Structure 1
Amino acid sequence: MPQNDNTFANGNDQRADWGAPGTAGATIAAGLVFEDVSHDYDGVESVRDMTLSVAPGEILCLLGHSGCGKTTLMRIAAGVERQSRGRVLINGREVAGDAVFTPPEKRGVGLMFQDYALFPHMSILDNVMFGLKALAKKDARSAALGALGRVGLADYASDFPHALSGGEQQRVALARALVPRPGILLMDEPFSGLDKRLRDSVRDDTLAVIRETRATCIIVTHDPEEAMRMGDKIVLMRNGRLVQYGTPAELYNSPADLFAARFFSELNQVSGTVTGAGIETPLGVLPADGVENARSVDICVRPQGILLHEAGLAGVRGRIRSKRFVGEVDLLTIAIEGLNQPVQARVRAGSSWDQGMDVAVTTDPKDVLVFPREDTHV
């Protein structure tokens, strides 16, 4: 009887635990470089002037909204798509350029697609063996069973894909991608079909297997939390261009612009005017570090950076309009004098703050982001 992803909601996907750590088998990681790579579909650019270097053994997440070009860039690395200009190099060797194009099967690249792309008429074992045609059948079978064992599915080698749940099919796809021991592993939204409650554990186990193999890995995702949890580095893309590249901490703490800031967290946004005293805002006067040459700025405060105090203490005056319990935190909506829109605050669940209370509001500097407005430099 075919199983579907509803098995996750019922907690029935744990028919087999993941295999013992340290049994995945190591590979020789490869470096990957994009040099001024662009791509277009019928004259519409999908990737624009992308220059990027991925170190051997590094896990890189390509992050962005649907249609931003992240999957296209991954497909260019695999050789499934050919760029319109620029070069792709693997371990310093050009594999795609004006006069060179190495086919996917000769690049030492493993692919894991969003829909897993398992062959329905083949057993699980045959699916994993599919990319091992260069090996003797006995050796290919042994390698495939080893890979299935590491993902906890060796006992289901004779089953067919339709008999597995979505999470188990994801494991099979991972085993198939890794069994040839590719120098580079490319994964396109590999966890998007999983139930949220199981996604974290499957993601962590997958990451452990990738670390064991030491393969260079590029993961395409639209989920910023997933990118921060899995990536050594993150590339944030928008309209085919690189918006920001760096570690998860760099992108979260020092976003390049408002788009980047909003991608990683909810924000309260207010306007500010730079003066000799600092930045005057409806939330008080804030430091003007780094924006002294701007006339007006956008101030963004994360909800956890809105701090509440008893009415009458230092801070701007506000009133709590609503309070919602969402588990570990309470979400508060606060009306502020001088602001047309209320601000959102996150406080520890069970706090004494309640709807209708008057409060004093200040901000936590570590959760305040300041961006000069365009064309406001003096």
Structure 2
Amino acid sequence: MSQLSLQQIVIQYAQQAVIHDISLQIEHGLIGCLLGPSGCGKTTLLRAIAGFEPVAEGKIALGDTVISSPRVHVPPEKRQIGMVFQDYALFPHLTIANNISFGIRHLSKSEQAKRIAQLLELVSLSGYEKRYPHELSGGQQQRIALARALAPKPKLMLLDEPFGSQDVELREMLAREVRDILKQEKTTAILVTHDQHEAFAMADEIGVLKSGRLQQWATPYELYHRPANAFVAEFIGQGVLIKGEVLDNYTVHTALGIVSGELPQGSEPKTPLKVLIRPDDIRLVAKAERKATVIGRVFRGAQYLYTLQLPDQVTKVLALVPSHQEYDMGETVSLELDMQHLVLVP
């Protein structure tokens, strides 16, 4: 039995569907993620799971209990679901201990104290019981917000853009920390984010959404190496789709020359396709038959990300190379393909 199951969910605003026929399952103890650009419907779907949005069609089940359908609506406070928000939502007038104990006040004082100590140790903030939220850093407040949500031992944890207010370097570190904490508590969770680095750092499975439709539900590795369509291919990781034409069962002709690999079923000769070229598929070398012109570069410390224009003057690709390989704008470079996975989309 899945810990969370969504079956053919439709959500409407003013008779207009904003979530279209979404189905997915998350097993106990796994961390899922709803990933996509702003306005794709990921937060709306999370709010429906929490109980803040009704469903027009389909059903949402937690374990073997239906919590949402057109005929069933379990109130949010009775769903045994915890939530962590981007702004933490800590009570500024309460100590850290009282913030954490807010959802477990039905327990005895000794049981509350034991759970508070356990969670503070879990989030590496032992001894912070008597402090107030304003005395903590943003990262520490985020961990306290997580501890408070974990205190009642919810069946499911929902995290809505929880690292959005943090700087880029801190986001990935916090994502890994929160993942470790959730795994230690064996808590099933769903993260909502537009940042794929957060998603990759934290989630076991990721659903990519576009315009209220689920494009693919898969592991991070599968999304990167086996995207279901052109949108997922371009949204996940950096890459460029270039035109190709099937030559035979294993080869495709492109502006980069011949590329080889397993082709989709039914790929007849002369069938037009698009080939996904990732920045790490290209190596810049001293001498090679393939040439390109540098038309853009971004310094990233250990690496340069180059934008290259191919001789057809139309096709552009990206190359990620060590920063000691420095090339000037307008310079002609030699390149080789090092493609471990051939990703093709119609």
| Same fold flag (TM > 0.5) | yes
CA distance in 2 between partners of 1:173 and 1:56 (Å):
22
Q: What is the CA-CA distance between 1:204 and the residue it aligns to?
A: 2.0
- Structure of higher RCO (CA pairs closer than 8 Å, 6+ residues apart): 1
Assess, with a 3 A threshold, how the Cα gap between structure 1 residues 78 and 338 changes in structure 2: closer, same or farther. same
Identity of aligned residues (%): 35
Per the alignment, residue 155 of structure 2 pairs with 183
Q: What is the CA-CA distance between 1:322 and the residue it aligns to?
A: 5.6
Instruction: Give the gaps of 5 or more residues in structure 2.
Output: none
Q: What is the CA-CA distance between 1:341 and the residue it aligns to?
A: 4.7
Per the alignment, residue 306 of structure 1 pairs with 282
Contact kept in structure 1, 2:280 and 2:319, CA below 8 Å = yes
Instruction: Give the gaps of 5 or more residues in structure 1.
Output: 1-28, 373-378
Q: Among residues 63, 82, 95, which one is paired with 1:110 in the alignment? A: 82
**Pairing of 1:77-226 with structure 2 (within 5 A):** 77-226=49-198
1:330 equivalenced with 2:330 (yes/no): no
**Pairing of 1:239-318 with structure 2 (within 5 A):** 239-276=211-248, 278-287=251-260, 289-290=263-264, 292-293=267-268, 295-311=271-287, 313=288, 315-318=289-292
CA distance in 2 between partners of 1:98 and 1:222 (Å):
29
Assess, with a 3 A threshold, how the Cα gap between structure 1 residues 325 and 153 changes in structure 2: closer, same or farther. closer
Q: TM-score, normalised by structure 2?
A: 0.90
Deviates more, 1:51-60 or 1:287-296: 287-296
CA distance in 2 between partners of 1:276 and 1:179 (Å):
59
Per the alignment, residue 20 of structure 1 pairs with none
Per the alignment, residue 41 of structure 2 pairs with 69
Q: What is the CA-CA distance between 1:61 and the residue it aligns to?
A: 1.1
Per the alignment, residue 344 of structure 1 pairs with 318
CA distance in 1 between partners of 2:285 and 2:192 (Å):
42
Contact kept in structure 2, 1:30 and 1:183, CA below 8 Å = no
Q: What is the CA-CA distance between 1:355 and the residue it aligns to?
A: 5.5
What per-residue deviation string (whole Å, max 9, x for no partner) do you get for residues 143-187 of structure 1?
Answer: 223322322334332232223221121011011010111121111
Per the alignment, residue 232 of structure 1 pairs with 204
Q: What is the CA-CA distance between 1:34 and the residue it aligns to?
A: 0.9
Q: TM-score, normalised by structure 1?
A: 0.83
Which secondary structure does the structure 2 equivalent of 1:130 belong to? Answer: helix
Assess, with a 3 A threshold, how the Cα gap between structure 1 residues 295 and 106 changes in structure 2: closer, same or farther. same
What per-residue deviation string (whole Å, max 9, x for no partner) do you get for residues 45-83 of structure 1?
Answer: 222111111111111111111221212222222222221
What amino acid is aligned across from residue 283 of structure 1 in structure 2?
L
What amino acid is aligned across from residue 317 of structure 1 in structure 2?
K
Which secondary structure does the structure 2 equivalent of 1:131 belong to? Answer: helix
Contact kept in structure 1, 2:273 and 2:345, CA below 8 Å = yes
Question: Number of matched residues?
Answer: 342
Q: What is the CA-CA distance between 1:43 and the residue it aligns to?
A: 2.7
Taking only aligned residues, the RMSD between alpha carbons, in angstroms, comes to: 2.4
What amino acid is aligned across from residue 230 of structure 1 in structure 2?
M
Contact kept in structure 2, 1:301 and 1:363, CA below 8 Å = no
Per the alignment, residue 39 of structure 1 pairs with 11
Assess, with a 3 A threshold, how the Cα gap between structure 1 residues 245 and 323 changes in structure 2: closer, same or farther. closer
What amino acid is aligned across from residue 330 of structure 1 in structure 2?
Y
